[in-house]
Amino acid sequence: MSSNNTTTPLKVSLSSITPNNIGTVRKLNSVLFPIKYSEKFYKDIQAPEVEDFCKLGVFFSVTSDTLRAEQLITKYLVYYNDIPVGTICCRQETVDGQNVLYLMTMGILAPYRSRKLGSQTLSAILTAAAAHKPKVDKIYLHVQVSNEDAKRFYESHDFKEIRVHENYYKKITPADAWVLEKAFS
């Protein structure tokens, strides 16, 4: 057996959130995020007008070697080609006459982080936003001030900190959040 210390990037496949997979989204969110989302949230993310911006992410294993490597790392994979490992959900808003996208949630399960899946997922949403009609002027999000890793991730994708939203979170501490945004030219 040969040993290879390099990590093979995985390809991400995104599917729309539907009544058929909303249970999976609920389960992923319960694992990924420290807050519980409302029924309204789950209803809203299935709306047709946000279909381009609310997705269930799965990794796609391109070779049997990649699948075997993933099995060794996570130890609980069953041999499926497609395994849900994350979600991304945005909503469209109009703010000061601008068409804005608010990134409500984005998360990748811990065993799949550092494999470019988050970058591929975010890139797909940014590409959809850039091509959207009417034009999306910017995208913004909140990151809990204790989550330096998430802040660095978004900054590596050209998001800029614009302010701190004090007491943004009601049921978790710290309650403050950075507001990060990226403008589209």
> Long-range contacts of range 35-40, CB-CB < 8 Å, 24 or more positions apart?
35/169, 35/171, 35/172, 37/105
pLDDT at 8: 53
Strand-pair partners of 140: 102, 181
Residue 63 burial by CB count (10 A; 0-12/13-18/19+): exposed, middle or buried?
Answer: exposed
pLDDT at 6: 45
77, 87, 110, 75: CA torsion to nearest 10: 0
Our separate counts of H helices and E strands in the chain read 5, 7
Please give the residue that has the higher pLDDT: either 11 or 130: 130
Q: What is the pLDDT of residues 134-156, one digit of tens each?
A: 889 999 999 999 999 999 999 99
pLDDT at 63: 35
pLDDT at 51: 81
Residues 12-58+70-183, CATH architecture: 3-Layer(aba) Sandwich (3.40)
Contacts of 151 (CB under 8 A, 6+ apart): 143, 161, 178, 180
Residue type, 179: V
Residue 25 vs residues 28, 64, 133: alpha-carbon distances, Å: 5, 27, 27
pLDDT at 77: 19
Catalytic residue chosen out of the listed positions 102, 157, 165, 168: 102
φ/ψ of residue 4, rounded to 5: -130, 115
Known catalytic residue at 102:
yes
Q: What is the pLDDT of residues 76-117, one digit of tens each?
A: 111 123 678 888 898 888 889 999 999 999 988 888 888 888
Pairing between strand 98-108 and 82-95?
antiparallel
Known catalytic residue at 42:
no
Catalytic residue chosen out of the listed positions 37, 76, 80, 142: 142
**What is the distance between the alpha carbons of residues 88 and 146, in angstroms, rounded to a whole number?**
20
Rounded to an integer, the average pLDDT of 19-24 is 88
Query: Is the confidence at residue 163, as pLDDT, over 80?
Result: yes
Among 19-23, 78-82, 181-185, the range scoring the smallest mean pLDDT is 78-82
φ/ψ of residue 19, rounded to 5: -60, -25
Among 9-18, 40-49, 122-131, the range scoring the smallest mean pLDDT is 9-18
pLDDT at 3: 41
pLDDT at 70: 32
Contacts of 22 (CB under 8 A, 6+ apart): 42, 46
**What is the distance between the alpha carbons of residues 29 and 86, in angstroms, rounded to a whole number?**
8
